[in-house]
Structure 1
Amino acid sequence: MLSRPPSSVIVVGSGIVGAATAYFLAERGIDVRLLDTSAPAAEATGAADGAVSVASKRPGPIMTAALKGVALYGKLADKGLFAGAFKRRSTFIVAISEEECAVLDAHSAALASAGVKVEILHGVALSRKSPALSPRARMAVEVHGEGHAIGYQIVHRLLSASGIVVDRNTSVEGLSLVNGGKRIGAVVTSRGELRADAVVIAAGNGSARLLGLGDVLTQRKGQLLVTERAPALNGSLPGAIMSGRYLLSKGSQKSTHTPPPRGLGLVIDPLVTGQFLIGGTREDSGSRETTDIDAVSRMLADAVDLVPGLSGVRLLRSFAGVRTAVADGLPIVGQIPGLENGFVATGFEGDGICLGPIAGKSLVQLMCGDEPDLRLSSFDPGRFADCGVAA
C-alpha cells in the first residue's frame, strides 16, 4: 500500500470507471494523466443500456454496491455534476406467467430484505400505474428509487468538471517494474514511457493482458436497440420495464440450468428523448461491430408482446457492446497483489454504468488511506492467484 497519498496518478482506460477514478483523484488536487487506446467511452461505456439500478440484483456484494452506486448518482445530480444526465425513475419487473410470478415473489422479498423499497402491483392497480403494458401482464414489482444515465454523457461530465484531457490513441504496451518487482516504475506506451506515483488499470477487456488474467476476464457481448420518438407512448410508461425472464438472463436467480451461449432478457427503457432503448442479449462470443437478425427480431417480438403499442414504433438503430466479465461474477477492484503503487478496477460487465462512479470513488479513497465507501474485500484482486504483472 502507498505510504502516503500520491501526488500524481496514471489511469489506463477512459470508460466510466477510469473517468470516475480520474475525477475523484483530481477533486483531491492529484495530478492525473488519463490514457486510452482510442477515445473516451469508446468501448463498453458507449454501448451500455445505462441502467442505474438494483432491480435485478440479489442480496450480496453487488446489490450493496449498486445501492451505494444509485445513491451516489443522486448526490452528484443534486450537486449539479449529473444534473439533467441522470433520470430518476422506477423499474417495473413484469411477470406474464405463473412461473415468472413465483420468481418475482421471491425476488421482491429478497430486495425488500435488503432495504430496497418495492411495491407489488396486480390487476387494476397495475393497469392504472402502467397502462401501456399488455393485458397478459399478471403482476409487476415496482422497484423505487432507480435511475438511468447515458454512459458517454456521464464520462463527458466527469472529464469536463475535472479539466482532464485524455491522451487518445495511446496504447499501453506494458508496465515496467522496479524495486525487485514491487513497484511500477513506468507505464510503457506507444508514445514512450510515462511515470507517476501510482497507476490504475481500468482498461476493461484490455486489463486481461496487462494483469495476466486471460483465464479470469472474458468478453461478454450485448445487443441493444433504439427506436424512433414516440412521446405519447413514452409518457405512458412511468419507468423502465423489465421482463421476469431478465432475472434469469442476468444471473440474479439461482438456476440448475447451464446458461445458454446467448441469453435473452428484455428491458424497455423510456428515454428522455421520447425514444425507447430495448435490450438485450448476453453472449459469450461475437464482435461488437455486428448485430444479427435473430437477436433483433426476438427482442422486438418480446418487446411488443409486453408493450403492444411498440408495434407502431419504428426501429432506428441496433448496436452491440462487448463488456468485461469476471469468472466468479464479481468485479475486480483494489490493489494489484505485490505492487505497492498498482491498482485495478475492471470486470463490471453490464453493471459498469451503475457501479463506475462509486467504484472509482472507493478506489481513490483506498489509494489515499481513507475508508472506502464500498467494502472492497469481496472485489479484491488477490482472490485470483494469477493476478499480477510480469517483470
Structure 2
Amino acid sequence: MARPSSMHVAVVGAGIVGAAAAHFLAAAGTRVTVLDASGPAAGATGASDGAVSVASKRPGPMMELARHARAFYGQLEAEGVFHGLFHRRSTFLIAQNALEAELVSQHGADLAQAGERVIAVARAELMNRIPGLGEGVTAALEIPDDGHALGYQITSRLLQRSGIVVRRRASVSEIVVRDGHAVGVALAGEILSADAVLVAAGIGSAHLLNLGDILIPRKGQMIVTDRASTGRPAIDGHLMGASYLAAKRGIVLDRSHIGLVIDPLVTGQFLLGGSREDNRSDHRTDAVTVSAILRAALELYPPLGARRVVRTFAGVRTASRDGLPIIGRHPHVDGLVVATGFEGDGICLGPFMGESAARMILDRPLAADLSMLTPSRFARAEACQ
C-alpha cells in the first residue's frame, strides 16, 4: 500500500458520498480526482429531503448505522466543517388509525431497543406544539435527537474545504484493471491512471461494476411549497407518516406508493414527499402522483391548504436487491472500493459512509462494523443457489 502522500485516487461520483470520501482522502494527504457525469450533487443528493434521521430507519443494521452517521454529523458540526448546515430537530412519527398506531408503537419500541430516545406525545400536547394537525391523528412519538442538512450544501462544503475541483461531464466508461488491480478509469479519449478507485456513482455504478441485476432505480416525486414563515421552520419538527415507516419495514398498509413526510425547511417552506416507484429512472413528475402526495399531506396537516405549490421535482434513488447499501472492497479487484445503493438514506449516511470508504482505501480501521454491507455478499448468495 502506497503512503497517502504518494497515492492518487479516482473517485467516480460527486454526490454526498463521493464528496465526503474525497474530503477525507485529501485531508489524509492523498491526491484525489473526482469525476462526475454531470456535476456535484446532480443526482439523488440534490433531489432529496434533508432528514438526518434515525427515526426513519428500519430496525437492525440500518438503524445502528444511522446512529453512527448522525453522531458523525454532530462531530463535524462541532469541528466547524458543517457549521450552519446541520441543525438538530425532532422527528414525529404520526399515526392516523389503529393499524398505524400499532406500527408506530412497534417502531418506537425498536428505536428504544437500539438506544434511541423515544417520547410518547399526548394528543393535546401535540396539537399545542403543531397546531392544525388533522383530526384523524390518533398517536405520535417524538424522536428528539434527529437532525436536518441539505445534501447539496453538505456536498458543496466538503468539496470547498478540501479544495477539490470536480471534473464535470466526465463520464467514466470502464474501470481499468491490470493483474487484478484497479489502475485507473477510462473516459472518452482518455485513461486516467490511479492507485485506487472509488465508485460512488449511484445508479451509474451498475454498468461500471456489473451490478445491473442488483441495483434498482427507485424514483421519488416531491413537492415544495411557498413560505409559511420567514427565516425559520414553520412547524416544530419533521412529520413522518406511518406509511413511510411501513415502506421502510416492507409492510403494505394500502395500495399507495406514497411514503408521506412533511419536512419544514429553514426557509419557512415545506417539502412534501414522496413516492417510491421501483424501476423508474426518469425525472418526470405527474399529476396523479403529485395529487396523491398532496391529499395525504393535507389529511395529516390541513394548514397546508393555505400554501401554494411552487415546484415539483423527481429524483432517482439507487436501491439494492436486499435493501441494504453496498460499501466495501470489490471481492475480485484490488484497489477498487464500492459505495452505492443508499436509496433514501444517502443524506443521513453519506458523510459517515464516505469517510468509511476513505478508510478502506487507506487501509485504516473502520469506526463501525460494515461487514453486512460488503459487495461480496451477493456473490456468496448466488454461489449458494
With the length of structure 1 as denominator, give the TM-score of the two structures.
Answer: 0.93
CA distance in 2, matches of 1:272, 1:236: 8
Residues 200 and 345, structure 1, Cα contact 8 Å, conserved in 2? yes
Residue equivalent to 1:189: 187
Secondary structure of 1:172's match? coil
Secondary structure of 1:299's match? helix
Structure 2 residue 369 is the aligned partner of structure 1 residue 371: no
Residue equivalent to 2:174: 174
Structure 2 residue corresponding to 1:244, chosen from 239, 242, 245: 242
Alignment of 1:83-98 (within 5 A): 83-98=83-98
CA distance in 1, matches of 2:373, 2:26: 24
CA distance in 2, matches of 1:47, 1:206: 16
Residue equivalent to 2:228: 230
Alignment of 1:1-391 (within 5 A): 2=1, 5=4, 7-179=7-179, 182-231=180-229, 235=233, 237-249=235-247, 251-252=248-249, 254-255=250-251, 263-385=257-379
382 and 258 in structure 1: CA distance in 2 versus 1, 3 angstrom threshold: farther
CA distance in 2, matches of 1:220, 1:53: 20
CA distance in 1, matches of 2:148, 2:353: 17
CA distance in 2, matches of 1:212, 1:107: 36
CA distance in 2, matches of 1:66, 1:186: 32
Secondary structure of 2:276's match? strand
Cα drift, residue 139 of structure 1: 1.2
Secondary structure of 2:221's match? strand
149 and 276 in structure 1: CA distance in 2 versus 1, 3 angstrom threshold: same
Segments of structure 1 that go 5 or more residues without pairing to the other structure are none
CA distance in 1, matches of 2:37, 2:159: 17
CA distance in 2, matches of 1:259, 1:199: 43
- Structure 1 runs of 4+ off > 4 angstroms? 2-6, 232-236, 257-260
Secondary structure of 1:384's match? helix
214 and 383 in structure 1: CA distance in 2 versus 1, 3 angstrom threshold: same
1:94-122 Cα offsets, whole Å, 9 max, x none, are 11101111111111111001001110112
Residues 234 and 265, structure 2, Cα contact 8 Å, conserved in 1? no
CA distance in 2, matches of 1:386, 1:167: 36
Cα drift, residue 203 of structure 1: 0.8
Segments of structure 2 that go 5 or more residues without pairing to the other structure are none
Cα drift, residue 51 of structure 1: 1.0
In the alignment, residue 203 of structure 2 is paired with which amino acid?
Answer: N
In the alignment, residue 284 of structure 2 is paired with which amino acid?
Answer: T
Residues 8 and 197, structure 1, Cα contact 8 Å, conserved in 2? yes
Residues 274 and 293, structure 2, Cα contact 8 Å, conserved in 1? yes
Aligned residues: 380
CA RMSD of aligned residues (A): 2.0
Moved more, 362-371 or 44-53: 362-371
Residues 184 and 196, structure 2, Cα contact 8 Å, conserved in 1? no
Residues 205 and 324, structure 1, Cα contact 8 Å, conserved in 2? yes
CA distance in 2, matches of 1:144, 1:370: 33
Residues 359 and 374, structure 1, Cα contact 8 Å, conserved in 2? no
